[in-house]
Chains A and B, each alone.
Chain A
Amino acid sequence: MPDSAESVTKSPSPRLWHMRRTEVAGAAGLAAVLGGVVAGVTVGAPAGAAAAVAVAACGAIALWFVRNRFRAWTYQERDDDLLVSRGVLIRRLSVVPYGRMQFVDVTAGPVERVYRLATVKLHTAAAASDARIPGLERDEAARLRDRLAALGEAKAAGL
């Protein structure tokens, strides 16, 4: 197996960022409008504007957070194990040997489906192992799933 080709560090699709951005911006926009209207009606127009701005600012911070989180998420298919690193505040790095894999989960929620994305999760017999990669394009998710399944079978080890 050519090592160089396999151990490239990859990231989730940029569409994951688009999806998260839309989710956060949509939710924050809605909250800003609602908050502004409620505060505007009950207290007065200036208070309404202030509330809307405050909520929008919170949304912007959340957006910044989500972007960092998206950028921090990487994975690497090495010869014998899958390496997933993620997290901004709490940084996590998981190394899961292919031989320890019990099954692979590919899930796509309604929003993910709109963006043609899927989440791949590797399960081992240990409850604590968390090798999850969100926002993979469908082809990449299918490729990863098949490759993990094949490698898992080839290198399987008993408990």
Chain B
Amino acid sequence: MSDERPDEVWHRLHPLSPLVRSARGLLAVLALIAISQGMRSGGSHIYDIVVPVAAAIAAVISWLVTRWRLDGSTLRIETGLLRRDSRQLPVARIQAVDVVRPFLARALGLAELRVRLAGSSHADGRLAYLPEQAAVELRARLLAAHHGLDPATPAPEERVLVTVPGGRLVGSVVLSSASLVVLLMIAEVVVALVVPAVLAATGGTLAVWLVSLGPVVWRRLATQYGFTVAESPDGLRIRRGLLSTVAETIPLRRVQAVRMIEPLLWRPLGWCRLEIDVAGSPGRDRSDGSGRMRKTLLPVGGHDVAGQLMRTVLGTEPPALRHPPRRARQKAPLSYHFLASGHDAATAMAVTGRLRKVTTWLPLEKAQSIRLVEGPVQRRLGLATVHVDAAGKDVRAEFRDRPGDEARRLVDELAALSRTARQLSQAGGGS
């Protein structure tokens, strides 16, 4: 790049943004008109048109009054006509940067950039829409600044770690519990055929189930099709999507926990799913799945792939696991077969679950608090559970049903280890 500093001027969003933003409402109304046209002939559609036109005008005004600039280490976004909203997003606080391309935007070569901070989703910075190239460049500049480099540093090379084949994704969706419901329904139909009196009753519920299940299956396929995980010095990059695509970039040190989930029906195939947690409120669950701070790192994959990804994210080998004593079976008869936990100087690891096995890895550096909980049954058996909490809701590793004295020792040990890990990471310049 030459000497010009493009970050010192205010930028506008792409002029086609209002069109893309109001397109969905417009299409809905057009569809509505088409339907009503079929039902009654003639009549005026003036009133049907009012709402989308107003929305379109609002979108144009919103475009007119929105501007953004990157000021060294702060992204500023100003918007709003009557109530001016000036938002400053310090790049040091970035939790993740997403480039989202809804179908229409993608067709027009546009992309939305979302800068996610910890805290409520209202604090997120959204730039909808930028030209694709500009969005990718801005992401590179933000991430370079986030890592304390010169913003003009070009985006570093990335190394693809995993691609999920479409066939396997379909297989996993079929096997997942949502599809289990379909099998149950088929069983119901068989029963109904044998005993015809039940048919009328089950027919209705079956239709409801199928109708409500369709969108769920479609959504999983559409959001996770072509899932690719790549590693680059500025973080993990996750790309996915069939019609709308999403590219999420998560700086590695922002990862609060990694979870491996093995549903019952996947286990014979040796498949598992990986999720990572990033600090922040869960927020609204957007249709493209990017509203959550619990992100899918791998929708489906073998253990070898998952293990390799886990090592990349955490940077260490998993610690050795220990099982709770045999007497814990009395307190947790349904999950005893999975229960295990362990830790080393950097990571806490815990396995829980009844039918599906959930393995959690949590960097001790991220521990927010350590808790010991001892219920009445546990006390009689001389057991206690130690929780290591990380930022977020329900982000924790549970050392379930450890012997009482060991649990008490664990609390002190984990507190000391997490303190050391925190100091090390701060000395290393992390924030």
Contacts and interface: CB of A to CB of B under 8 A. Distances in A.
Interface of A: 80-81, 89-97, 99-100, 124-131, 157-159
Nearest to A129: B369
B134 interface: no
Nearest to B278: A159
Nearest to A90: B375
Contact of B374 (A91, A126, A157): A91
Contacts of A124: 368-369, 389, 391
Interface residues of B, number: 35
Given A157-B426, A158-B430, A159-B254, A131 B372 contact: no
Closest 7 CB pairs of A and B: A125-B391, A126-B368, A129-B369, A126-B389, A158-B431, A93-B372, A124-B368
Contacts, number: 89
Interface stretch (B156-164, B210-218, B302-310, B393-401): B393-401
A159 B371 contact: no
Contact of A91 (B254, B379, B395, B419): B379
A80 B417 CA distance: 12
B376 interface: yes
B415 interface: yes
B415 A81 contact: yes
Given A100-B369, A126-B368, A159-B279, 8 more contacts: A80-B415, A91-B379, A93-B371, A95-B371, A128-B394, A157-B425, A158-B431, A159-B118
Contacts of B374: 90-92
Contacts of B256: 159
A126 B391 contact: yes
Interface string B294-332: 000000000000000000000000000000000000000
By CB atoms of chain A within 10 A, which of B379, B387, B391, B396 has the most? Answer: B391
Contacts of A95: 369-371, 411, 415
Interface secondary structure of B, over-half rule = mixed
B223 interface: no
A91 B373 CA distance: 6
Nearest to A80: B419
B389 A129 contact: yes
Interface in B253-290: 254, 256, 279
Contacts of A125: 118, 279, 368, 391-392
B394 A127 contact: yes
B368 A96 contact: yes
Interface string B361-389: 00000111111111110010000000101
A117 B186 CA distance: 63
B390 interface: yes
A124 to B, nearest CB: 4
A97 B365 CA distance: 12
Given A158-B431, A159-B118, A97 B391 contact: no
A130 B419 CA distance: 19
B396 A128 contact: yes
A90 B37 CA distance: 65
Contacts of B425: 157
Given A80-B419, A158-B431, A126 B375 contact: no
Contacts of B337: none
Interface string B198-212: 000000000000000
B418 interface: yes
A89 B279 CA distance: 33
A93 B370 CA distance: 8
B379 A97 contact: no
A82 to B, nearest CB: 9
Contacts of A90: 373-376
B392 A97 contact: no
